[in-house]
Amino acid sequence: MRILFVCLGNICRSPTAEGVLRRHLQHAGLADRVEVASAGTGDWHVGQGPDERTCRAALARGYDLSRQRAQQVTPAHFADYDLVLAMDSSNLRDLQALRPGTAKGELDLFLRRYGARVDDVPDPYHGGADGFEQVLDLIEDACQALLVEIKGRL
């Protein structure tokens, strides 16, 4: 199974989701059965590591994002991934426009699919440190529910 998280810049929210899910999978002994990646709808940060504030907040909870590098999402990703999860409604709209009509991979809004009280992971890029903690809180909760779905599908 292959899962792709997508946000705008691929340096804050989707790299966090990638790191959180990867650790959940390791703890569940499923790391070799599920491939996880992330991408951005924009190309501004391609090749860069995640935002320093994102890395710091994630590392404080035990997630090392330092080896990740930003990439831009392309139509080909919809053939490569079974499940593409958008971090917010704007990302979802952009992905719907990009997704080939013949694509087999599923596309959905991450928080809505996994039962959160809000639909969007708020973009923390222009805000303060609290925003990065909120991103982690939302993503950690939704990843628990995603892991249940993964176990059911494997």
User: Which residues contact ligand 4NP (rule: CB under 6 A)?
Assistant: 7-13, 40, 44, 123, 125
CB of 28 or CB of 130, closer to ligand 4NP = 130
Q: Longest Cα pair distance anywhere in the chain, in angstroms?
A: 42
Q: Is 80 a catalytic residue?
A: no
Number of H-type helices and E-type strands within the chain: 6, 4
Instruction: Tell me the two tokens of residue 65.
Output: 């994002």
CB of 28 to ligand 4NP, least distance (A): 25
CB of 59 or CB of 148, closer to ligand 4NP = 59
CA nearest to 132, candidates 24, 70, 55, 68: 55
CB of 34 to ligand 4NP, least distance (A): 22
Instruction: Tell me the two tokens of residue 35.
Output: 């491939």
DSSP for residue 12: S
Active-site hit among 12, 13, 51, 120? 13
Q: Is 7 a catalytic residue?
A: yes
CB of 13 or CB of 23, closer to ligand 4NP = 13
Determine the residue with CB nearest ligand 4NP. 9
**The 3-state secondary structure of 100-123, one letter per residue:** CCCCCCEEEEHHHHCCCCCCCCCC
Active-site hit among 23, 55, 123, 143? 123
Q: Is 67 a catalytic residue?
A: no
Active site residues: 7, 13, 123
